[in-house]
Amino acid sequence: MVSRPHLPEDRMLVEQLRLQLGNIGSSVIPTILLALLLVWVISNDSNAFAMRAWCGITILFKLYLAWDARRLLASEISPERARRLLRRKMVINAIDGATWGSLAWAALGTTTVAGSVLVVAVLAGVAGSSMSSLAPILPVFIVFGAAELVVLGAKLWLMGDPAYDALAVAAVLYTAALLGQARNASRAARRAIGLRFENLELIERLRVETEHAQAAHRAADEANLAKSRFLAAASHDLRQPIHAQGLFLEVLARSQLSADQHDALANARATWQASAEMLDTLLDFSRIEAGVVEPQMQVFPLQPLLNKIENELAPQADAKGIVYRSRETHAAVRSDPALVALILRNLVSNAIRYTEQGGVLVACRARGEQVLLEVWDTGIGIEPAQHQAIFREFHQLGNAERDRRKGLGLGLAIAQGLARALGQPLSLVSTPGRGSVFRVALPAARAGVVAEGAADAMPGPSRAFDLRVLVIDDDESVRTGMRQLLGAWGCVCDLADSIEEAQALARAHRPALVISDYRLRELRTGAEAIAALRAEYGADLPALLITGDTAPQRLREARATGVPLLHKPVLPSQLHRAMSAVLMGRELDSSFAGLEARRA
């Protein structure tokens, strides 16, 4: 049983005094009316002066007690002052008790038997009511009751009548009974005061803990924002040289090279591809955070998608000596094929990464109006306590050394975010040491018509362009790489590093296509550059935006322009396809443009 903390005695006394002082005001009017009633009923020729004197003293004293109580309650009662006030209260209430007891000296023996009974009844009632009002501080009631009893008892004893003697004894017994009740009431008052202080302390502690929790939550939000800003800035700064590197590697691949040079180029492109994929993973996560993922729903068969994922990832399983299998299916679903492909790719990559023996199975099962797309593995499994944590960004199991070969810890966070964007739940069942199964529920297609190429939009054969392209980018290496790559495709390039220079070049030679970086110098954007050029040459001027930004706000801003958006580093094949699309007036999905091609 938990014991309550002991309240300091001085602090308790302060509250007892305030409680007792607060009871005085309610007794003023009843006291005045009672005193006047007694004078009117009991007063006669033999006791008129004594009764009137008693009535005046009683009323004045009660008024003084009420005024003094109000004054004390209006001021602050400190623990040091409380002891002095207690002694003062005991003196004042002793006088008050004696004043009430003196009623017997003014009335008994000079009034009728009925009057005497009334006097004794009144004094008993006053003692009882004082018990309830003075009980919060037991010593104060004791001195009040003792003073009243002594004065009353002395009068009864001196009257020399056995009946009055018995009445005096009864008064003593009655007062003793009141003292017992007063002691219980005092204890109850102390407990109530103690509980009130405990509640106040609990409320204060809760307030402090709430403030601490809110401060910690704010700090966590600020840290998360700082993390996002850092990742966005770092990602942007890394994307610029990697994007330029990809352009130069593509140009180099078209050159005459020896066998050794081809091998070195292949290694360089593999290294570039690995860096680009890590940056793309950050970009995918940033897109989800920014809320710019807009599913493009259509009916498509799952089997071509399963074949594509198997062709892409089965070699990774073979390299680890584990089995990769996907069951044949004739199921078709209504969803976004690019997003479903990315979800499945992340789930399969995660399964291969954490499986050392056995294998990975990808299967589909019809369940009513849904198709369950499942990824089974015989990997390390996941403890129940980690089932929620593994979907947090950058959370990885068994990778304390942050081995980059094990990814960034974003795959499952991306998969869950995309499933949420699709409105289709992603679930997990896992047994530690035996493996896991991830399931995403997709709506089964009611129609058998499937969009051509929906599940696998591979780039067509490259064709040469014969047009003038205006490239706007504030990075010289990117401009140089774009000039060489576009020149190899038969384009004539004009290069600008600012909006003003772009406008000057466009006036000299009208471009057939504008390709602009989104973030330019002096806090200006490629969207502004394209808008300025379209104001001069028409709203139908074909244009592309390319950005290395991954900050959610920047992604939303770029998305809002309505200009097709590509993300650095851009694969040459992706750029070629995007150019073809905008030149032919086709719409390019700017939320996940080229997502599949970049990973193909």
Domain presence at residue 228: no
CATH (domain of 499): 3.40.50.2300
Looking at the fold, whether 57 and 173 belong to one and the same domain comes out as yes
- pLDDT, residue 554, reads 64
Burial (CB count within 10 angstroms: exposed 0-12, middle 13-18, buried 19+), residue 277: middle
How confident is the model over 283-300, as pLDDT tens digits?
Answer: 555 555 555 456 778 888
- Same domain (yes/no): 473, 585: yes
User: From CA 421, how far away is CA 549, in angstroms rounded?
Assistant: 21
Q: CA nearest 366: which of 340, 329, 418, 336?
A: 329
Is 340 within a domain? yes
481 in the same domain as 342: no
Q: Are residues 317 and 412 in the same domain?
A: yes
Is 258 contained in some domain? Answer: no
Same domain for 414 and 474?
no
**Is 545 within a domain?**
yes
Residue 301 DSSP class: E
Handedness of CA 240, 243, 247, 249 (dihedral sign): positive
Is 371 among the domain residues?
A: yes
Peptide bond before 569: cis, by omega within 30 degrees of 0? yes
Tell me, yes or no, whether 414 and 531 share the same domain. Answer: no
Among 76-85, 395-404, 490-499, 501-510, where is mean pLDDT lowest? 395-404
Handedness of CA 584, 586, 590, 594 (dihedral sign): negative
Same domain, 427 and 484: no
Domain residues for the domain of 527 are 468-599
399 C-beta neighbours (distance < 10 Å), count:
16
Q: Domain check: are 403 and 518 in the same one?
A: no
How many angstroms separate the CA atoms of 461 and 292, rounded? 30
Instruction: Let me know: does 472 contact 514? Beta carbons within 8 Å.
Output: yes
Domain CATH code at residue 428: 3.30.565.10
Q: Check pLDDT > 90 for residue 470.
A: yes
Give the chain's count of helices (H) and strands (E).
17, 12
State the CB neighbour count (10 A cutoff) for residue 192: 13
| pLDDT tens digits for range 74-105 | 888 777 777 888 888 889 888 988 988 888 88
DSSP secondary structure code for residue 372 in this structure: E
- pLDDT at position 591 is 40
* Statement to judge: residues 17 and 127 lie in one domain: yes
User: How many domains are there within the chain?
Assistant: 3
Q: Which of 480, 12, 406, 64 is nearest to 245 (CA)?
A: 480
What's the full length of the chain, in residues?
600
Peptide bond just before 459 cis, omega within 30 deg: no
Helix, strand, coil % (nearest 5) of the chain? Answer: 65, 10, 25
Q: Which of 410, 443, 476 is the last residue of a domain?
A: 443
Tens of pLDDT along 17-63?
787 788 887 888 888 898 898 889 888 888 889 889 999 998 998 89
- pLDDT tens figures, 511-530: 999 999 888 888 888 888 89
- Domain-terminating residue out of 378, 408, 443: 443
486 and 548 belong to one structural domain: yes
Is 362 domain-assigned? Answer: yes
- Distance between CA atoms of 96 and 73, rounded to whole angstroms? 20
Q: Are residues 23 and 166 in the same domain?
A: yes
Instruction: Answer whether residue 265 is part of any domain.
Output: no
Q: Could you say which of 156, 187, 207 is where a domain stops? A: 207
Q: Helix (H, G, I), strand (E, B), or coil: what is residue 295?
A: coil
Cβ burial of 9 (10 Å; 0-12, 13-18, 19+) is: exposed
Give the model confidence (pLDDT) of 354-375 as tens digits.
Answer: 888 888 999 888 888 888 888 9
Stated pTM of the model: 0.41
Q: pLDDT tens across 233-281, in order? A: 655 565 667 667 766 777 777 777 777 777 777 777 666 665 665 555 5
In the numeric block, the tokens 């103690």 are attached to: 194
Q: Are residues 33 and 164 in the same domain?
A: yes
Task: Report yes or no on 163 lying in a domain.
Answer: yes
